[in-house]
Amino acid sequence: MTIHVVIPVFNRLEQTQTLVDCLRHQQLTESLCLLVVDDGSSDGTEQWLASQPDIRVLQGDGSLFWGGAVDLALLHLQSFVPNNDWVLLMNNDTTIQEDFVQSLLDAAKKYAPAVIGSVIRDEAEPTRLLSIGARVDAWRLLTSDLLDKSHSPTEFTDIVRVDALSGRGVLFPMASILASGGMRPRWLPHYLADYELSARVRKSGWNLLVLMTAPVYSSDDYGSTARALSWQEKLFSMRSPLYLPALLVFWWEVSSWLQRFTLPVRLPLLILFPRLRKSSV
């Protein structure tokens, strides 16, 4: 078996180099192959990748975004990778410990059929936990993190079941990606693309689990950043976390039939009256 690490990048060469160094030092019983999708970097990333013989590179033109970059990589892998191989999605603004990949692999085998995600810790303060995993409330169109004010990290066991998985360090069986149909970059070019993929994988029969003992380290601003966008840009710019096509496809996918039937009424109400989405936790 082989673990194929997919890393979408756009600039941030130093961070890419740091993550690649982490991956090269993994203590692992299986083969590890690195696949980087460079979506039109202009900071020397293209030249550096060309000089790395152990990295397979796919080139974009700057229009792929995260969803399109991952889709390009998965379509490439599907052309020759057997079903019993693995795909590990990583972001280049993270670092990992030497036993990270092996820990995910051991958990995936132990809890099969399963997709295994990672917790996120603060790279500046490694004992500080930033994220555990997602819970999804399809009635209020609300995603939240299991790490909230009502929980302490010590309440969780080593393995935690979640509703959706971030793409920042998640190990998929190749068979789960094939069964789910892969990415939908036309509708989900960036935000929610990872959550939506994992939701379909769960529907295909795989458990979504987070391994508490396998962190990725990142800055504490890893989530969506605030942008001064007009309402039109917020709803129709692919760079916006409120990109309407992505929201519609994601919430349709994670909803029951009753929730889908009421979605055309609930969606405008929740946009106009955001307090209705306030978590009860």
**Chunked in runs of 10, what are the mean pLDDT values of the chain (281 residues)?**
97 97 97 97 96 97 96 96 96 97 98 97 94 93 81 73 95 97 95 96 97 94 59 82 90 94 85 74 48
Task: Specify the residue for token string 């280049």.
Answer: 92
Biggest CA pair distance of the chain = 54
37/70 Cα distance (integer angstroms): 8
The pTM of this model reads: 0.92
| pLDDT at residue 150 in the model | 53
Rounded to whole angstroms, the Cα distance separating 222 from 281 reads 23
Sign of the CA dihedral 6, 32, 19, 169?
positive
The DSSP-derived string for 86-123 is: EEEE--TT-B--TTHHHHHHHHHHHT-SEEEEEEEEES
Identity of residue 211: L
List the domains of the chain with CATH numbers. Answer: 2-277 (3.90.550.10)
* pLDDT at residue 226, as a whole number: 46
Query: CB-hemisphere CA count at 13 Å for 74?
Result: 26
In this prediction, residue 234 carries a pLDDT of 80
* Omega prior to 113 cis, within 30 of 0: yes
pLDDT of residue 154: 58
